[in-house]
Amino acid sequence: DADVTQTPRNRITKTGKRIMLECSQTKGHDRMYWYRQDPGLGLRLIYYSFDVKDINKGEISDGYSVSRQAQAKFSLSLESAIPNQTALYFCATSPSATYEQYFGPGTRLTVT
Amino acid sequence: GIQVEQSPPDLILQEGANSTLRCNFSDSVNNLQWFHQNPWGQLINLFYIPSGTKQNGRLSATTVATERYSLLYISSSQTTDSGVYFCAVGDASGTYKYIFGTGTRLKVLA
Percent of chain A with pLDDT over 90: 88
- Chain B, window 28-67: residues with a beta carbon less than 8 angstroms from a chain A beta carbon: 30-31, 33, 35, 41-43, 45, 48
Give me the residue from A44, A99, A103 closest to B43, CB to CB. Answer: A103
Query: For chain B, what is the mean pLDDT?
Result: 93
Chain B contact probe: residue of A33, A37, A91 with most B CBs at under 10 A:
A37
pLDDT at A112: 97
Contact between A103 and A32 (Cβ < 8 Å): no
**Cβ-based contacts of B31 with chain A (< 8 Å):** 99-100
pLDDT at B40: 87
pLDDT at B24: 97
Name the more confident of B45 and A1: B45
> What 3 state SS string does chain B have?
CCCEEEECCEEEEECCCCEEEEEEECCCEEEEEEEEECCCCCEEEEEECCCEEEEECCEEEEEEHHHCEEEEEECCCCHHHCEEEEEEEEECCCCCCEEECCCEEEEEEC
**Cβ-based contacts of A86 with chain B (< 8 Å):** none
Name the pLDDT band for A111 (thresholds 50, 70, 90): very high
* pLDDT, tens digit, 9 for 90 and up, residues A60-101: 999 999 999 999 999 999 999 999 999 999 999 998 877 789
* pLDDT, tens digit, 9 for 90 and up, residues B73-91: 999 999 999 999 999 998 7
Chain B contact probe: residue of A47, A94, A107, A108 with most B CBs at under 10 A:
A94
Contact B100 A42 (CB under 8 A): yes
A1 has a pLDDT exceeding 60: no
C-alpha pair distances (Å), B99 with each of B5, B31, B71, B96? 10, 10, 17, 10
**In chain B, whose CA is at the least distance from the CA of A91?**
B43
- Chain A, window 15-54: residues with a beta carbon less than 8 angstroms from a chain B beta carbon: 31, 33, 35, 40-45, 48
A15 has a pLDDT exceeding 70: yes
| Calpha distance A74→A107 (Å, rounded) | 14
* pLDDT, tens digit, 9 for 90 and up, residues A20-37: 999 999 999 999 999 999
Name the pLDDT band for A102 (thresholds 50, 70, 90): very high
Length of chain A: 112
Contact A100 B42 (CB under 8 A): no
Q: How far is B110 from chain A (nearest CA, A)?
A: 24
A49 has a pLDDT exceeding 90: yes
B95 has a pLDDT exceeding 70: no
